[in-house]
Amino acid sequence: MDALEIYGGAVSVYDHVMPHVALYEPEIPPNTGNIARLCAATGTPLHIVGATGFRMDEKAVRRAGLDYWKFVEIQRHIDFEALKEALPGSRFVYLTTKTDRRYMDFAFERTDCLVFGPETRGLPLDMLAENPDRCLTIPMTNPNIRSLNLATSVGIVLYEAIRQLRQTNLQ
């Protein structure tokens, strides 16, 4: 039990090795709901940045049946600068289809904040251009597929980060 950290109503067994997840201007409520469930299950702090394509008030969350919402450590930020101010010790890692650097070739750190863009357009090009050494992609073998579902992408990368960080902590 000593590894458990309780904060903001959420329980995390991974807090000592857990990066953050940030969704920049998410557009599709079920994706955000699935990602919130993933974050609740892993004890990962979730950050919603900028405007969303849907309501996130208590009534909307209740209507959507998100009974696990109380277990998510969630923070809202008006813009990306506000996120950076809230996480001053974090290294921001940007997930995109616009790079060749594979997520599994990257060494994740406990202080990472994994940043994912909106479903229909991805992260802003200027954000990616300013951080080329921290842009990662999930490789896909079928060139006819433009991208993966946002919730799927978050799950793939988050669990790789957890795997790496737990191995590092166990050594």
Mean pLDDT across 2-31: 63
Structural domain total, the chain: 1
> Which H or E run includes 160?
helix 150-170
Give the model's pLDDT for residue 168.
Answer: 60
Average pLDDT value over all residues in the chain: 85
Domain that holds residue 17: 5-170
Q: Which residues, at least 6 apart from 166, have a Cβ–Cβ distance to it below 8 Å? A: 14, 17
Predicted confidence (pLDDT) at residue 6 exceeds the cutoff of 60: no
Q: Which residues, at least 6 apart from 37, have a Cβ–Cβ distance to it below 8 Å? A: 66, 68, 72
Please count the CA atoms within 13 angstroms of the CA of 27 that sit on its side-chain side: 9
Nearest to 33 by CA among 6, 4, 81, 71: 71
Rounded to 10°, the helix 29-42/150-170 angle is 10
Identify the CATH number of the domain in which residue 28 sits.
3.40.1280.10
Q: Which residues, at least 6 apart from 84, have a Cβ–Cβ distance to it below 8 Å? A: 90, 92
pLDDT tens digit string along 136-154?
999 999 999 989 999 999 9
pTM value?
0.85
